[in-house]
Structure 1
Amino acid sequence: MRETGGDQVEEAVAGCVAALRPAVARNWAEVRAGGLDWSCHETAVHVADDLVAYAANLAGRARDAYVPFELRLDDGTDNSGLLHVVETTGALLAATVRTTTRGVRAFHPYPFRTADRAGFAAMGIAEVLLHTHDMATGLGLPYRPSDELADSVLALLFPHVQPGPTPWATLLWATGRGELPGRAPVTGWRWHNNLVIAADRLDLVGIRPAEARDLRLGGDGGFEWAEGGPYEGTRDAAGFLLKAYEGGTHRPEFGVFALVRREDGRAVGGLGFHSAPDEDGRVEVGYDLTESARGQGYATEALRALADWALPRPDVSSLFATIEPANTPSQAVVTRAGFTKVSEDEEGLAYELRAPR
């Protein structure tokens, strides 16, 4: 899988500079940037500030807040110099993304207070694409980034947004900058980086639509897998996630997780929800492991961690799992995780774990 990274950050920045350079002789401080309250000058400084802040957080492994500094231009910096600052801060983010290993996460507030290298790359790209649109609109310049860049931002940061007729039009609508037929205007939005739940030996890493698409097509989803992985059940679950995303019903926090072994960074299986909770707060879970990882307690550990995350939520009343009668190892997993058998027929056994209300 080709992960969104430094090359895409540089592509976005190059497109920004090329679009805005024809207007460097104008006074950007006197031109409003599209529908923003900022001028084009303020917006360009904001882009550069975000790019270097993302690079700093990722490089510095920030845990609870942004690294405490702010970009300031030298007095007298003209628009050409400002574009050079945007290029430079973009290069810093691209280099940081390239040199950061996959499992590293650093602080970003939305929505789960961390992001990985792909998330920081996508946020940097989004800032560049969207604010170049704002500035180009204010300056009366043409601008349209590639659909590949817009699609990567949507699949990484907007997993809750149903794809539209074109990625760029959908991204503009999703950020309150455009209209889509049949959809209400967007008045508020946030990034949506993927959820990671820590277990004892594993990290449950939320699979994003871009990764689910690659898994469903036979790829690795960007993960390094233990021998024999990914297992068929994980690919099937990725397909269900992708179908929900394309249908506009995907809730990312109730998606699918890769079980990544912390000691070596390898994925050993998949676990997740079949859908969001129903009207009674019940939600079904499923899981699988590569054959080489079975018999070591990973599935039980992961299921307990998932339950510990889900059951305190007000929209979850219980987790349940349906298991084939002959699958005694899986029955043992749910039993060790605290589930109890609530029904049995020829099609399967139903187990449930209720929230302690």
Structure 2
Amino acid sequence: MLLMGGDQIDEAVAHAAGVLRAAADRDWDAKAGGLDWSCLKTAEHIAGCHIAYAAQLTGRAKDAYVPLDATLDEGTGPEGAIQAIEAAGAILSAVVRTTPRGVRAYHPYPSGAADATGFAAMGVTEVLLHTHDIARELGVDEEPPADLCAAVLAHLFPHVPPSLTGTTPWETLLWATGRGTLPGRAPVTQWRWHNPHSFPAGPVALREVTPAAAADLAAGGTGGLTWLGGAPFDGTRTAADMLTKAYAAGVLRPGWGMYALVRTADELAVGGMGFHGPPDDNGCVEVGYDLVEAARGHGYATQALRALSDWALTHPEVTSLLAVTTPENVPSQQVATRAGYRRLPDRDTNHAYGLQRA
């Protein structure tokens, strides 16, 4: 799976330009497939989305969209519209490449903000889907590269099983966005993408790890992060492997996976924390955590566990949280108790700590 960035925007725009130029001599005043917009207006929308996303990042928008719009000049034809898509895509690509890590800008869903990789993924999605809408009306064949479609699914649609039987990533993406049908699957009539969560915890932030980043971590990579000491602790790689397998099995629920603990002063990743899965039938959700050795003793894990637990308890279905440690892991036990967890009866040979909803 690919991590999202400028290269993926460039690839998506190049694909779109090739498809659309093959139909530049057709009727672009006709409505794009499945939309109320004309093909020309849909092309304008693609370019406008890219400019808007670039403005969000460069303007560091906090709680609303930057009041900026991009429209085609009056009288612009198909070739001009394609050039606008290419130009706007290049702007977004450059902005994504140069936006410092950790910068987040306003986007309403799901948590009010997205980082540069999120805006890259949304930009790729806009161009792939709306190029399809135009091509569908104008009668030209198009199918984006499979790796690019898989990357979009992994970043923005982690709740969608990535390997639906007998389908390509493109077919899955079309179905997930209400543009296609799949055997044995109900049509999608309403959908939203999922930008990874991020929330503060004192000197660190918890950043939700995408399936693509988790796969990279599980394979020995960095997950797109810079780690204090050069690499994560072994437990983080184990958790990343669990997330990767849950995504492949189609049972991953956004928000209830793994988070990287990132020190906001220098954007260095110092550990991993997260859930072993969504809440069970009794409303209990199990947490796990670790830190790289150089980050221990500064209270990072305690503050992060408090923040993660508070987030979990905002969900009505959660009634309690559980942390399980080996008897000899005294530092982890101290993290749990400092975060408000209380000792529970042992689980087999391990110590258990719980936090109940008040």
User: TM-score normalised by the shorter chain: which range applies?
Assistant: over 0.9
Displacement after TM superposition at 1:181 (Å): 2.5
Displacement after TM superposition at 1:126 (Å): 0.5
- TM (normalized to structure 1)? 0.97
CA contact (8 A) 2:47 2:88 kept: yes
Residue aligning to 1:320: 322
Question: Structure 2 matches for 1:295-314, cutoff 5 A?
Answer: 295-314=297-316
CA contact (8 A) 2:40 2:77 kept: no
CA contact (8 A) 1:228 1:292 kept: no
Is 1:270 equivalent to 2:269 in the alignment? Answer: no
**SS of 1:197's equivalent?**
strand
Structure 1 CA distance, aligned partners of 2:347 and 2:245? 29
Residue aligning to 1:178: 180
Is 1:190 equivalent to 2:192 in the alignment? Answer: yes
CA contact (8 A) 1:229 1:268 kept: no
Residue aligning to 1:5: 5
Residue aligning to 1:94: 93
Residue aligning to 2:121: 122
CA contact (8 A) 1:258 1:270 kept: yes
Structure 2 CA distance, aligned partners of 1:337 and 1:97? 36
Residue aligning to 1:283: 285
Residue aligning to 2:254: 252
CA-to-partner distance for each residue in 1:295-323, whole Å, 9 max, x for gaps?
11111111011112111221111111111
Displacement after TM superposition at 1:2 (Å): 6.2
Structure 1 gaps of 5+ residues are: none
- TM (normalized to structure 2)? 0.96
Residue aligning to 2:46: 47
Displacement after TM superposition at 1:346 (Å): 5.4
Please give the root-mean-square deviation of Cα atoms over the aligned residues, in Å: 1.3
Q: Which moved more, 1:67-76 or 1:141-150?
A: 67-76
Structure 1 CA distance, aligned partners of 2:135 and 2:85? 15
CA contact (8 A) 2:2 2:148 kept: no
Structure 2 CA distance, aligned partners of 1:19 and 1:338? 57
**Amino acid across the alignment from 1:10:** D
CA contact (8 A) 2:3 2:151 kept: no
Is 1:163 equivalent to 2:168 in the alignment? Answer: no
The size of the alignment, in residue pairs, is 355
Residue aligning to 2:237: 235
Moved over 6 A (4+): none
**SS of 1:252's equivalent?**
coil
Q: Which moved more, 1:18-27 or 1:5-14?
A: 18-27
Structure 1 CA distance, aligned partners of 2:57 and 2:356? 38
Q: Which moved more, 1:250-259 or 1:159-168?
A: 159-168
**Amino acid across the alignment from 1:70:** D
Structure 2 CA distance, aligned partners of 1:250 and 1:103? 24
Structure 2 CA distance, aligned partners of 1:168 and 1:313? 33
Residue aligning to 2:75: 76
**Amino acid across the alignment from 2:255:** E
Structure 1 CA distance, aligned partners of 2:262 and 2:3? 17
**Amino acid across the alignment from 1:185:** P
Q: Which moved more, 1:57-66 or 1:69-78?
A: 69-78
CA contact (8 A) 2:27 2:138 kept: no
Structure 2 CA distance, aligned partners of 1:148 and 1:345? 43
Structure 1 CA distance, aligned partners of 2:160 and 2:122? 16
Structure 2 CA distance, aligned partners of 1:94 and 1:342? 51
CA contact (8 A) 1:325 1:346 kept: no
CA contact (8 A) 1:283 1:316 kept: yes
Structure 2 CA distance, aligned partners of 1:41 and 1:20? 11
Displacement after TM superposition at 1:66 (Å): 0.9
Q: Which moved more, 1:228-237 or 1:329-338?
A: 228-237
Residue aligning to 1:15: 15
CA contact (8 A) 2:206 2:260 kept: yes
